[in-house]
Amino acid sequence: MDISVVIPLYNEEESLPELTEWIRRVMLENQFRYEIILVDDGSSDTSWKVIQGLKTQHPEIVAIKFRRNYGKSAALNVGFNAAEGDVVITMDADLQDSPDEIPELYSRIKNGADLVSGWKAKRYDPLTKTIPTKLFNAATRSMSGIHNLHDFNCGLKAYRKEVVKSIEVYGEMHRYIPVLAKWAGFTKIQEQVVQHYPRKYGSTKFGAGRFVKGFLDLLSIFFVGKFGKRPMHFFGAIGVISFLIGFFITIYLIFDKLMSIANGTAYRNVTDQPLFYLSLVAILIGTQLFLTGFIAELVSRNSTDRNKYHIEEVI
Ligand code: UDP
Ligand code: MG
């Protein structure tokens, strides 16, 4: 099979017939062998009924229905597991992404790219969404080192099959799939300017909370990617530095005290100086960070994929 189109959807009953028809047209024009994987993320409208109807006319549809709403990342993950095509293309169900981009995305992957991410150069979304998105993309670019992407969270993307089979999308990590791919060793990441349309039916499924969650996810993805397998290097290092600062201040305080006693200078309580509290806090925080690192190390040692590496080739 050439292409698997993976589409996560949540309450998109009006868009589905038009979307599947459009995809079918593009596929037939280009003579692709394909499947459309519709993942119904626990819709509460009639989406699933619509899908059942579509499936009777289009046997190339594979449909999966969640019992409840788990989120876009979960839907993508399940779609990725089911995908059988050499090239996997994801798109949103709301007709904001255009299936006409599929042939070019496909040929870029065939020409060697691991991942091609859509860039909605001209967006049809409200300003309240586009401005924070710009900030996000800048932060993600600099933290991930993927400097050639303008738009990380575009729903329209294409992947080589190995990529989707090697990464695990969970929580709300769908915003950072190119980063996950890079951590997994797939570095040929390209961008393609894509057509974007206003939402035709229904309404957006993500509120303003997306920005807070997105930022926290960026921090955790960065942390897990860099220190997930060696947490002690992070906590231990800061912990030791903090502890040493506290330790040397304490030595100084003791020395100072002994000197003042020996010299018979004005008697001063150790607790009367700010340095004492500073050393106390530094030692406590240092010890705690160190212990945190130790426990994190034990946790990561117990994880089942502690020795899971992506092997590219064996000859
Ligand atoms: N979606 C989903 N589960 C959710 C929320 C959204 O599968 O819990 C799907 C939604 O149906 C759409 C895609 O994710 O196909 C993108 O959602 P939306 O268009 O609401 O996001 P926006 O375009 O506003 O970023
Ligand atoms: Mg949308």
The per-residue DSSP string of 169-211 comes to --TTGGGGHHHHHHHTT---EEEEE--B----SS--S--THHH
Calpha distance 102→156 (Å, rounded): 9
Calpha distance 114→158 (Å, rounded): 8
Residue 69 alpha carbon to ligand 1 centre in Å:
11
What is the number of the ligand 1 atom nearest to the C-alpha of 11? 11
Which of 203, 227, 251 finishes a domain? 227
Task: Dump pLDDT digits (tens) for 16-27.
Answer: 999 999 999 999
The vertex-35 CA angle with 32 and 41, nearest 5°, equals 145
CB atoms within 5 A of ion ligand 2 belong to 92, 94, 96
Which of 202, 227, 252 finishes a domain? 227
Residue 72 alpha carbon to ligand 1 centre in Å:
6
Check pocket membership of 9 for ligand 1, CB cut-off 6 A.
yes
H helices, E strands: number in the chain: 10, 7
Co-location of 95 and 209 in the same domain:
yes
Rounded to two decimals, what is the model's pTM? 0.86
Query: Residue 103: which CATH number?
Result: 3.90.550.10
Query: Per the domain annotation, does 312 fall within a domain?
Result: no
Co-location of 284 and 151 in the same domain:
no
22 vs 123, 157, 163, CA distance in Å?
Answer: 21, 17, 26
The domain total for the chain is 2
Domain that holds residue 275: 231-301
Residue 267 pLDDT class (50, 70, 90 cuts) = low
Across the range 296-312, mean pLDDT stands at 85
Co-location of 44 and 187 in the same domain:
yes
Q: What are phi and psi of 197, to 5 degrees?
A: -120, 155
Co-location of 72 and 105 in the same domain:
yes
Co-location of 42 and 84 in the same domain:
yes
Co-location of 118 and 173 in the same domain:
yes
Co-location of 182 and 287 in the same domain:
no
Task: Dump pLDDT digits (tens) for 248-259.
Answer: 999 999 998 899
Query: Per the domain annotation, does 214 fall within a domain?
Result: yes
Co-location of 185 and 221 in the same domain:
yes
Check pocket membership of 205 for ligand 1, CB cut-off 6 A.
yes
Give the pLDDT of residue 126: 81
Sign of CA dihedral 153, 159, 164, 167: negative
What is the number of the ligand 1 atom nearest to the C-alpha of 8? 7
Co-location of 237 and 152 in the same domain:
no
Across the range 91-110, mean pLDDT stands at 96
Which of 164, 194, 227 finishes a domain? 227
Co-location of 117 and 253 in the same domain:
no
Give the pLDDT of residue 221: 86
Task: Dump pLDDT digits (tens) for 268-286.
Answer: 788 888 999 999 999 999 9
Q: Check if the beta carbon of residue 184 is closer than 8 Å to that of residue 310.
A: yes
What is the number of the ligand 1 atom nearest to the C-alpha of 92? 15
**Closest ligand relative to 203 C-alpha:** 1
Calpha distance 147→16 (Å, rounded): 35
Co-location of 67 and 193 in the same domain:
yes
Co-location of 81 and 20 in the same domain:
yes
The vertex-251 CA angle with 248 and 255, nearest 5°, equals 140
